Amino acid sequence: MKAKNPSNEELIESLKLSLLDDEGKIKISELKALQGGNELEIKVLRSFLKTEDFSFYFTTLDEFFAYLFLLLDFLTLQEFYDVLHCFKEKKLKTEIKENLFDIDIETFKSYPSSFDAEEVESTVIDIEWSESGANYTPVAIIEPVLIAGSTV
């Protein structure tokens, strides 16, 4: 006799039950040691997941997508795209410090590593005030200095 195949809902529910912790929350992993991400990436992901009421916690976006691809075995292709679309909408609505903030892993990993940081001292010559509508912004006029062969 052939065994009955469980429905998508039954498979997802059994997967969720196997991932529940003592508090009834679903946690894929704890946000501990940096595990493939830098500190800023971890802080942004933690903040994003808490403010958007997610009950899943991931260390990196790679882990999030790995989990989604695990679910692909249980979801139809349309349900999978719906999950991705929901994540994209929440990601675009995330605001941090009143600025629209897009979580982009490439941004976290892109930094100029071919040049060492160079520090020089300069003297403030004057301070001018820039007016923009009702806002005034101080702009420092500093003595030019030579940094890495360029006058700044």
Question: What are the mean pLDDT values of the chain's consecutive 10-residue runs (152 residues total)?
Answer: 53 50 50 45 56 57 69 64 58 41 47 66 87 82 83 81
**pTM exceeding 0.75:** no
H/E stretch holding 142? strand 135-142
Residues 6+ apart with CB under 8 A from 80: 68, 71, 72
Residues 6+ apart with CB under 8 A from 104: none
